[in-house]
Every structure is written in C-alpha cells, then in structure tokens.
Amino acid sequence: MAKYYVQSGNFRRVVSADNSRKAAIWAVHEVMQQILPSDETESSSASMRLVGEHEPRSVTVLSAKVRVNERGFDRDDAREMSTMEIVAEWNQMVMTLDRLQRMFGSVTDAEASVVKPSETRFFGDGMAA
C-alpha cells in the first residue's frame, strides 16, 4: 500500500491505501466518526459522557474538495476530488456493510435497536450528491 497525504478543510492526515480514492474515502470515514455513534461511545457510561460535555472540542471540517498526493501536503499536483462524491461513496459503503451484517445475522437484537450509520441518510433517494 502506498502512503497518501490527504487534506480537506482543516483535516490533514497521512493514510496508507491502495489508491488515492480509497485514501480519500478513509479520510471521510475518520471525519464522520466524530458525528456518528460507534460501539465504543455506546458502551461508555453516561457519567463518562458528561465529564467533557462542556469543554470546547476541536471539530474537523471538510471543504468542497479532498486533495490527495503521494508527495506531501499543499502540492499543486495533488489530485482533487469532490467531497460530496466521496461522502456519497462512503455512505454507500457503510450501508452495504450494514446490510451484509444483517444478512449474516451478526447483529443482535440490542444492536438492531441502535441507530446505525446506514439509517442516518446523508443523501435521500432522488437527491444528487
């Protein structure tokens, strides 16, 4: 796997991936984790969630384009991709993984009652990315 420098908005990360598009999808995945529920946050106690609730948090924001390069950040030869297209691909991937989990019965009743990323629609049917 190659090393890619991925940047968008205030997000900057070096990612190992098979290609630049997969590196961009991984970057979107990392950013989306700050707003979507995960197994770790659901298993943590309510008291732990309240501890840092009023502390200011740094929020990662993506711009309209994701820039990916194998040589470094802020390069003129970086490949630019539409953030919305990458988010749409990421959303499609998450929905597919969720369907596969449900098909193979790896989702317990307790997990099924929790809102999953696939139930959080970023693009409704008929909406363009």
Q: What is the pLDDT of residues 79-108, one digit of tens each?
A: 999 999 999 999 999 999 999 998 887 655
Between CA 24 and CA 6 the distance in angstroms is 7
Q: Does residue 75 contact residue 69 with C-beta atoms inside 8 Å?
A: yes
What's the rounded mean pLDDT across residues 48-53?
48
pTM of this structure = 0.67
- Residue 23: the pLDDT is 97
CA distances from 42 to 77, 110, 113, 117, 125 (A): 42, 11, 12, 13, 29
Candidates 86, 78, 41; CA nearest to 62 is 86
pLDDT at residue 29 tops 70: yes
Give dist(CA 52, CA 87) in Å, integer.
28
Residue 13, strand partner residues: 6
Q: Using an 8 Å Cβ cutoff, are 20 and 86 in contact?
A: no
